[in-house]
Structure 1
Amino acid sequence: MKIAIVGAGISGAYLAKLLGQEGLYPDVYDAGAQDTLCGYRSCGWGAPIGIEKYLAEVDLDLNEYLIEPMFSMNFDGLEAKTPLCTINKPRLLRDLNAGIRLKRQKLGQEEADSYDVLVDATGITRALLPPCRSDLTLPTLQHRVAVSSEGDVRLGAGVYGNRIPGLGYLWIFPVGNGQYHIGIGGIGLVHHESLMERFYRESSDQFSFRPLCRCTGVVRVASPYYSTPLSLTQRRKGKTQAVIGVGESIGTVSPFTGEGIVYSLECAGILADSWPDQEEYGNLVLARFGWMKKERETLDYLLGQGRNGGPRLRDRWRFYKNARRSGIDLPVLEAFKRMGSLSRWVDAPD
């Protein structure tokens, strides 16, 4: 079986490692560095400590990539314990790419026709599969910032929905040496830069900020259910060829938070375990990430008929379940009270 994976990001490179353990050695195509200072797609570098078990599957050690645990975080003024951390994602990607058959080039059509299976691991581009049946994307802006305290208080990690109008949030993740990823993402949001500047101004009595670089990005928050087809079968030059999506290309990103590193690893694991059964793989992905469908439907409601009334009880419960799924220790009553504040900012003007 001749296999090509297009995209050497988290899901594509990890899948190549897993298939290699089974004696399958795909060619991995990736044209090269992104137009960012680190050379990779815009990302906050946040992940749960639970990523450790996925890395161990390919003989990698989380301690080699761990930048800083985020034992507590601020969520719109509510402090909560978390199992989250920041990781050196560029280094992780370099190590995932090591030892695989990586081709730093685009996959041309003539070459593509020679493969039995093509894996679409191109993320937001979804280069090999047809468009999602109902796509939803989250534009982002992120700065890497050197932060100095004006006193004894250190800037803490946090996620703030109350600072962003509409369906969006601002994140603050430490990335070592007094530097942070500070970013903004929002559905339909267009004033990223002015919102970032407002945050800097409002925080200037405690901290000084020196931006080191900036990058923009887009995250697919459609959910796998609304990102179908997850795979297809086609005829190429007289033979049958399978095209299978993995990771963000098929929406394995939390619609509420934009978190996708671990879910992309998990999705790649599901594909490796069910290889090459497309039907089994699709069923397993839809079952495992069914909660993403519910989160997506909450976003659709808040963008549509719920715009004036704010979140329903089921929506508040889904926000709470998202936090618990990530291991964030939010007290139920206080969390529900804070989630009620969504009704204030869903209607906020741009």
Structure 2
Amino acid sequence: MRYRNPPLDDFMVMPLPSLTGYLWYFPLDNGYAHVGAGDYYKQHVKYLNDFMRRHGGEVVMKIGRPVRISPPHLCQPIMQNNLVGVGESIGVVYPALGEGIIPGMHNAQLLASCIEEGRLQEYPSKVLKKFNVYEKVFQFIRKKIKGEFNLLRDFRLVLSAFLHMKLAEDRYGMVIRLKDWLRVVEG
């Protein structure tokens, strides 16, 4: 998008109802911004159009691609023969945000260190361990989408997602508050 007066001076990620997707805004230079949305039920266009109606701007380019949010334990084999998976191809995408660039870089660093140390065979187990919280977040989102989520029964899943982001606020560029997470959970 191109704006004469950008509506926000910082990035925004807004979960959609029932955590079926999210809308994002990432400001760039000179009035440009990446604005987009994704939704399990394919209602993202409605939310995107609402955002554009409220904030104006000119659409410069449209690009759409699905994002794989299945965690690594569902994307195996991670390594087979002389093929090694990295990033989104093996589920290294944070399911709550659909964010995969930074996790993909962390994943690539993990692969590089396994190669450098001559321990390539340990790579799959290290991936599963490092990105284990993604499985819990995925379970939480899947339960929300299917209408099977119960806060009392599934509180550990919510707590795992909250603590993961709270302990990495600098990495996510957000202040993570439990009351906000609970509002999202109840949404």
1:147 partnered with 2:33? no
Could you say which structure has the larger radius of gyration?
1
Secondary structure of 2:104's counterpart equals helix
Q: Give the superposition deviation at 1:283.
A: 1.4
**2:113 maps to amino acid:** D
Greater helix share, structure number: 2
| Greater length-normalized contact order (CA 8 Å, ≥ 6 residues apart) | 1
Secondary structure of 1:210's counterpart equals coil
Secondary structure of 2:95's counterpart equals coil
CA contact (8 A) 1:302 1:310 kept: no
CA contact (8 A) 1:246 1:268 kept: yes
Provide closer, same or farther for how the CA distance between residues 166 and 265 of structure 1 changes in structure 2, counting only shifts above 3 A.
Answer: closer
1:264 partnered with 2:100? no
Provide closer, same or farther for how the CA distance between residues 340 and 269 of structure 1 changes in structure 2, counting only shifts above 3 A.
Answer: closer
List 4+ stretches of structure 1 deviating above 6 A.
none
Provide closer, same or farther for how the CA distance between residues 288 and 227 of structure 1 changes in structure 2, counting only shifts above 3 A.
Answer: same
1:288 partnered with 2:130? yes
Q: TM-score, normalised by structure 2?
A: 0.82
Provide closer, same or farther for how the CA distance between residues 284 and 155 of structure 1 changes in structure 2, counting only shifts above 3 A.
Answer: same
Supply the distance in 2 between the matched residues of 1:310 and 1:169 (Cα, whole angstroms): 21
CA contact (8 A) 2:96 2:137 kept: yes
CA contact (8 A) 2:140 2:158 kept: no
CA contact (8 A) 1:254 1:260 kept: yes
Which residues of structure 2 form unaligned runs of 5+? none
Q: Give the superposition deviation at 1:199.
A: 1.8
Greater strand share, structure number: 1
Supply the distance in 1 between the matched residues of 2:136 and 2:178 (Cα, whole angstroms): 18
1:224 alignment partner in structure 2: 72
Provide closer, same or farther for how the CA distance between residues 322 and 183 of structure 1 changes in structure 2, counting only shifts above 3 A.
Answer: farther
Supply the distance in 2 between the matched residues of 1:295 and 1:166 (Cα, whole angstroms): 11
CA contact (8 A) 2:21 2:44 kept: no
1:210 to 33, 58, 67: 58
CA contact (8 A) 1:148 1:209 kept: yes
Question: What is the percentage of aligned positions where both structures have the same residue?
Answer: 24
1:57 alignment partner in structure 2: none
Q: What's the Cα RMSD here? A: 2.5
1:274 to 98, 111, 114: 114
1:320 alignment partner in structure 2: 162
1:330 to 161, 175, 178: 175
Supply the distance in 1 between the matched residues of 2:68 and 2:62 (Cα, whole angstroms): 20
Provide closer, same or farther for how the CA distance between residues 147 and 322 of structure 1 changes in structure 2, counting only shifts above 3 A.
Answer: farther
1:299 partnered with 2:141? yes
Q: Give the superposition deviation at 1:148.
A: 2.8
Supply the distance in 2 between the matched residues of 1:196 and 1:212 (Cα, whole angstroms): 14
2:21 alignment partner in structure 1: 168
1:158 alignment partner in structure 2: 12
1:102 alignment partner in structure 2: none
Q: TM-score, normalised by structure 1?
A: 0.46
Provide closer, same or farther for how the CA distance between residues 189 and 219 of structure 1 changes in structure 2, counting only shifts above 3 A.
Answer: same
Secondary structure of 2:25's counterpart equals strand
Q: Give the superposition deviation at 1:259.
A: 1.6
Aligned length: 180
CA contact (8 A) 1:168 1:184 kept: yes
Which residues of structure 1 form unaligned runs of 5+? 1-144, 234-241, 346-350
Provide closer, same or farther for how the CA distance between residues 154 and 306 of structure 1 changes in structure 2, counting only shifts above 3 A.
Answer: same
CA contact (8 A) 1:255 1:295 kept: yes
1:250 partnered with 2:93? no
CA contact (8 A) 1:310 1:342 kept: no
Supply the distance in 2 between the matched residues of 1:195 and 1:154 (Cα, whole angstroms): 16
CA contact (8 A) 2:14 2:22 kept: yes
